[in-house]
Amino acid sequence: MYNKKVKLRALFLFLSIATLILTIFLVLKALEENVVYFLSPTEIKNLNETTTEKIRLGGMVKDQSIKINSDKINFIITDFKNEINVTYSGIVPNLFQEGKGVVAEGILRDKNYFKAEKILAKHDENYIPPEVKASLGEK
């Protein structure tokens, strides 16, 4: 009935739509599993229960809070309302200093204690995490 060309077109169209649906499905599934949420100390205090998933914690490094020994660096992340103790072993970025913004990725042990696996570098020395900026603005 239909010639070969029409059949080919139909096949092509079908395959395109199938790929599209498959792509969307895979992407959504992967997003669900691999998204890392970004929270501030206050948001963590307000959590009903602590998650065991990996999160990013953003805030400022509290003045006089960095302590370092041969295998660990301990410090406090604050958003000037709440504070969280962070422990980390690994390399820190250049802009990791007291009184500067920081983003730590890791796992929350409880509401006061965060075990960081990675401290993220920001290329800008004046970077302040957005929530902190917002809460500074409110003051």
Partner 1 sequence: MILNYLGNFALLFCLIISLVIFITSISSLNNKNSFLKKNLNELLFFKFFFAVLSFSSLIILFVISEFSNETVLNNSHISKPLFYKISGTWGNHEGSLLLWLLVLTFFAFFYYLNSKNRPIDERLLTILFQEVIILGFLFFLLKASNPFNIIYPVPKEGLGLNPILQDPLLAIHPPVLYLGYVTTSIVFSSSLAGLIKGNINNLWAKDIKKWVFISWTFLTLGILLGSIWAYYELGWGGFWFWDPVENISLMPWLSLTALVHCVLALEKRSILHSWTVILSIITFTLGICGTFLVRSGILNSVHTFANDPERGLYILFFLFFLIFLSVFIYFIYEDKFELNNKNLNLYTKETSIILNNWFVMYFLSVILIGTVYPIFLEVLSNEKISVGPPFFNKLIIPFLIPFLIFMSIGPNLKWIKNNYFSKKLKLIIIFILSIILSILVSKFFGNTALNITILLAASLYLFIITIKDLIKKGFKNYSQTISHFGFSLLVLSILLNSIFSSEITSNMRVGDEIKFSNKIIKLQKLENTTEANFLKLIAYFKIEEKNKTELVLEPEIRIYDKPETITSEAAIKTDVFKDRFLVINLVKENEYLNVRYQEKPFMLWIWISAIIISLGGIINIFKKNEKQIL
**How far from 86 is each of 14, 28, 36, 125, CA to CA, in Å?**
53, 32, 18, 21
Nearer to partner 1, 1 or 36 (CB): 36
Residue 107 found at the interface with partner 1 (CB under 8 A): no
Q: Which of residues 19-78 bind partner 1 (CB under 8 A)?
A: 19, 23, 26-27, 30-31, 33-38, 56, 66, 68-73
Applying CB under 8 A, what is the total number of residues that bind partner 1? 39
User: What distance in Å separates the CA atoms of residue 58 and residue 1, rounded to the nearest whole number?
Assistant: 65
User: What distance in Å separates the CA atoms of residue 133 and residue 11, rounded to the nearest whole number?
Assistant: 54
Q: Which residues bind partner 1 (CB under 8 A)?
A: 4-5, 8, 19, 23, 26-27, 30-31, 33-38, 56, 66, 68-73, 89-98, 121, 123-125, 130, 133
